[in-house]
Each structure stands twice: as structure tokens, then as C-alpha cells.
Amino acid sequence: PATVTDAKRKLSQERRVSRLNAFREVTSALQLVSDDPPELDLPSRDGLLVLPERMLERAVSEIPPGFDRALVSSAARMGLHVFLTRDKGILRHHGALRPSGLLLASPLDIFEELLACGAFHCMLEPRCAYWPMPDQMRVGHLIRALPSPAG
């Protein structure tokens, strides 16, 4: 809930609904299916370099002060892979948290990362499709998370 209502000024009802929609859609797209009970389905830090606490604190200190910094810090400590935001003040520091395994990215950045690693090459060149095909329902959720064009 805090990530939806976090804003420098009061959100309009329309903007709040838009944020809530984006949160739900991205969560649906990225949710992993697991046989484990939900309380055990947490991100894994396996394979991540664990940096000294002071290095993480230094990296997090580059994020503008306030609630955003607390959210980014929490995400890094939980072992999350991506902190999704459109806040330019946070995105400007995308390199600061990379050593800890956290990518600060916008929805478009994530889409571009997935395209660059070949996750959707079959969409660009259908004859190159491999099986099983990428889960198109997840792609649909990511597209619906993007803000509607103005006008």
C-alpha cells in the first residue's frame, strides 16, 4: 500500500487508481508459480554477492532522502531483483545498487532489458519461436501496467 500512495504531493483519485492498477498488473506479471506455501515464496539471495553493510548503506544514501530511500533499502535487503519506478530522482541512481543485485528501473527499462536478452525475439521474428513460448499473459499484464497515452 505504501508504494501506491507514496508521492510528494497529494495524488488525484485518477492517479491513485492508475498506480494501483500498475501495481496489480506488474505483480501479476512477475508472480512466480511455486508449490511452496506463499510465506516461503520469497526472493532468493542464492548466487548474489553479499556486500558489507556499509557499502549497501553508502549506495542507498545516494537515493533522495525520504520514504523512497526506505523502500529501496528494504528491496535491496530482501534480495529483490528489481525496484520498479518512474521516479526520475531514483532512476538517476540506477548504477548505485547494481553491485547489491538490485536494478532500479522503469517499466520501459524492464521491457527493453527483456528484449535485449532475447526473451521476446519470437515476437519480433515468429519463425524463431521456441517451445514453450513465453507466457503471453505476463506480457499482457506488463502492457496494461503502462499509463494510457494522453488524449
Beta bridge partners of 82: 103
Each residue of 89-119: pLDDT tens digit?
899 998 888 888 889 998 888 888 877 877 6
Q: How far apart are CA 61 and CA 15, in angstroms?
A: 28
> What confidence category does residue 151 fall into, taking pLDDT thresholds of 50, 70 and 90?
very low
Q: Could you tell me where the beta strands, DSSP code E, fall in 5-146?
A: 82-84, 103-105
Does the N-terminal peptide bond of residue 132 adopt cis geometry, omega within 30 degrees of 0? yes
Phi, psi (deg, nearest 5) at residue 64:
-50, 140
Each residue of 30-75: pLDDT tens digit?
665 555 555 545 555 566 566 678 888 998 999 988 888 988 998 8
Q: Could you tell me where the beta strands, DSSP code E, fall in the chain?
A: 82-84, 103-105
User: Which positions ≥6 away from 30 have C-beta within 8 Å?
Assistant: 138
pLDDT at 61: 92
Answer yes or no: are the C-beta atoms of 66 and 104 closer than 8 Å.
Answer: no
Q: Specify the DSSP class assigned to residue 14.
A: H
Answer yes or no: are the C-beta atoms of 76 and 100 closer than 8 Å.
Answer: yes
